[in-house]
Amino acid sequence: MTKLTLGSHPYLLGFEQLERLLERNAKSGNEGYPPFNIEQTSERGYRITLAVAGFSEDDLAITVEDRQLVIRGRQRDDDDTRVFLHRGIAARQFQRSFVLADGVDVAGAEMENGLLHVDLERAEPEKVVQTIAIKTQ
């Protein structure tokens, strides 16, 4: 018996890319750090909020690579003169990835009280009706 996938189903033509995106997201290695929320802010708006306490704007990078939103954080520990008696706050790096649907774009990002807010907008889809001519032979 063969495995039925999105790309092989007879009614789902052209969805091979969706299957590849799901596989890529499953392999992206997102762990539980940093914690995040995703909320719908309007009919076409979304907001991803990451808890990035201890990170400054310079420590964070937000990119969109091949319809994938990638948020990276890397703290710089430049001060070698500090002597820690206990270090419970780790200066660890992270990478969080979110797959964006076609038509969803990053509208902006802001930091507020240790939270990084990334706003997304979904464009209004164009309603297109196409008439196909039937050729006779």
pLDDT at residue 119 greater than cutoff 80: yes
Mean pLDDT for 12-35 is 70
Mean pLDDT for 81-101 is 86
What are phi and psi for residue 29, nearest 5 degrees? Answer: 75, 25
- SS3 label, residue 130: coil
pLDDT at residue 2 greater than cutoff 70: no
Residue 87 pLDDT:
81
Domain 31-122 belongs in CATH node 2.60.40.790? yes
Residue 31 pLDDT:
67
pLDDT in tens, 121-135: 999 888 889 999 999
Mean pLDDT for 96-111 is 93
Tell me the pLDDT band of 24, cut-offs 50, 70 and 90: low
How far is residue 123's CA from residue 91's CA, in Å, rounded to a whole number? 37
Mean pLDDT for 11-18 is 71
Number of Cβ within 10 Å of residue 20's Cβ equals 12
Domain positions in the chain: 1-30, 31-122
Residue-wise DSSP of 20-81: HHHHHHHTS---S-S-EEEEE-SSSEEEEEEE-TT--GGGEEEEEETTEEEEEE------TT
